[in-house]
Amino acid sequence: MKKVLISALLSFPAFAYQLDNIKIEAGYGTKSEISQITSPVNVITGEEINEKHPFDFKDTIFNRNGFAFSSNGGFGQTVSIYLWGTHPKRTVLYIDGIRANDFTTPNQSAAYELFMMDDIQRIEIVKGIQSGVWGADAVGGVINIVTQKPEKGFHLKTSGLIGDYNTKKAGITLSYANEKIDMLLGYHWFKTSGFSAAEPLNKRWDEAGYERDPYRNETVNFKMGWNITPKDRVEAVVKNIDAVIHYDAAAAVDAKDYDDPFAFGISEYFNHYSQKFYKLQYDKKFKNNHLTLLFAKSKFSRTQYGGYEGEYREYTIKDKFNYSFGFVKFGFSRQNFIQSKDGYSIPKLSRYHNNGYYLTNLSKINRFYLSQSIRHDSYSVFKDKTTWKLGAKYLFNKDLYVSANWGTGYNVPTIDQLFNPYWGNENLKPENSIQWDIGAGYKGFSVSYFKFSIRDMIDYDFATSKYQNIPGKTKIKGIDASYSRYINLLNTFLRLNYTYLDSKDPKTGKRLARRPLHQIGFDVIWYPTEAVNIGFTGLYVDKRKDAYGENIGYYTVINAFANFNINKYLLAYVKLDNITDKFYQTVAGYATPDRSLYAGIQLKW
């Protein structure tokens, strides 16, 4: 019996949540061990994504600590991510180093709802102000999606899924790598009849007779690297997302695709959304230096409300110099923001640029890490600004640490916020932010206390129907805690996390909309055999108010999945979302999925 038990423990499968030996780039803009990064870090591995089979980014961070989210409906509908309670535009999203925030949207947030979770190596999340490294506007934090690195040899992966709402998904990924060249090409297709985006406040959309809002997404991922010499590498990335989203007129207001329910002349309620991302990068290592030259471009096009078009370009040169007890990284980045169309008009300001000069130093003195970052941004149409960040971390041993960070941020208004003929306000001023946090960790446990002070925060004013600066300082503070461990006796992985979030609007004295006061998430994954795992993931959202005071909190959602490795090539799985069929809304008047079942298969060779 003893031999059987030992054998069972040793046969535990490759662990999807293992973070040992992972180096990430989001901390200092260069690959660094997680233990060296002073700011709180979360990493979601590709193995965890493959195990849970999320549809999009929202599903991936569904129950993660520090995150809150809202969605204006189901598949493909607008998603807002509130990292540590900050507005979505204050978190910067990168894909393989390409900035993905769509600056043509009023809030300059990334279209998280369009990112399918395929061909991903890991997702790196660094919380709190990162202005010295990633830009003055990285106030809430930085999310860096790293696409899959091809393994040596030729590999093929195909997948398919069917499920409720007439949902279908299929994909194929080819990859090849040797000592000199590595490349990956993936094509992924998703289509669903979906459910209504809008929904009454007190009953489901189908009970009210609302129509479905379908969604289609086609995504192409291409990545290629050429190791010219052991110290010279060229890398190219192309990602293309093409999506069509049907949506509704307003909260709780259903509209057929060509309806005009308000008689405003808006009669097409579907949006063709195109996003294209490009990167060309050259890395050169010599002596103690690592030089990087980068060109990146992001193109955005939406047909919604007359159409929006824009382009972001970045030119970067930076160098990392390693010395005996740390490194210093310095560089220059030119950022061009070009918006050629803004709804039914040509924007009054069609482009501006920013020259950023930055320096980051990390020193290790015995067990003490000290980081300093400073960045100066020179804008063509806004006031220049210098931002900075200080971070410290002390490792008592490999399991126990304490940390602290303090930094400043700067957010300029978007072109749309300034000049949109309906809600724009030419008198908007940039925001200035200060943030600090302290934290500690021991083995699988981590906790952080954080606090933001944002002066002249830009937000939509429902009283004037325009964007306004909120006079005074908006305060956000909270606690972010997580504990995880693998219980050998039960062959079970357990993770619990908790987020406390308190915010205050200086104008009204009330909490900011759509941020829950308390939030609890959990994962329980059971591995009865090497070939099977069964998981339950859950989220409890406490008191939360929407923009007009509607209560959209107090709900618990539990999802489940099961994976069956039929052999080393073939995987079959099922997933059941919202298993208790809970009725809830994350934005008042917009629907969420009811109980829904999906089944899929993957073939890897």
Query: Mean pLDDT for each consecutive 10-residue tract of the chain (605 residues)?
Result: 40 58 88 93 94 96 95 96 93 95 88 96 95 88 95 96 98 97 98 97 94 97 97 98 95 90 82 97 96 97 91 96 96 94 83 94 96 96 94 95 97 89 91 97 96 93 88 95 94 96 88 94 95 97 90 94 96 98 96 97 95
Question: Residue type for 238, please?
Answer: V
CA 522 to chain CA centroid, nearest Å: 19
Question: Residue type for 281, please?
Answer: Q
CA 473 to chain CA centroid, nearest Å: 26
Q: What is the pLDDT of residue 1?
A: 39
What are 268's two structure tokens? Answer: 């097409």
Cα(575)–Cα(577) distance, integer angstroms: 6
Q: Are 575 and 559 in contact (CB under 8 A)?
A: yes
Helix, coil or strand: residue 7? helix
What are 513's two structure tokens? Answer: 């909309």
Question: Residue type for 246, please?
Answer: H
Helix, coil or strand: residue 129? coil
CA 349 to chain CA centroid, nearest Å: 29
Q: What is the pLDDT of residue 16?
A: 65
What are 426's two structure tokens? Answer: 């030419």
Beta bridge partners of 461: 466
Cα(198)–Cα(181) distance, integer angstroms: 48
Q: What is the pLDDT of residue 132?
A: 79
Q: What is the pLDDT of residue 348?
A: 82
Q: Are 354 and 335 in contact (CB under 8 A)?
A: yes
Residues in Cβ contact with 238 at an 8 Å cutoff, skipping those fewer than 6 apart: 220, 221, 222, 223, 276, 277, 278, 279
Radius of gyration of the chain (CA): 24
Q: Is 209 exposed, middle or buried (0-12, 13-18, 19+ CB in 10 A)?
A: exposed
Task: Give the CA diameter of the chain.
Answer: 77
Residues in Cβ contact with 437 at an 8 Å cutoff, skipping those fewer than 6 apart: 39, 40, 127, 128, 403, 404, 405, 448, 449, 450, 451
Please choose, from the candidates 572, 570, 563, 603, the residue with its C-alpha nearest in 3D space to the C-alpha of residue 171. Answer: 603
∠ CA 494-497-499, rounded to 5°: 175
Q: What is the pLDDT of residue 8?
A: 40
Cα(583)–Cα(557) distance, integer angstroms: 9
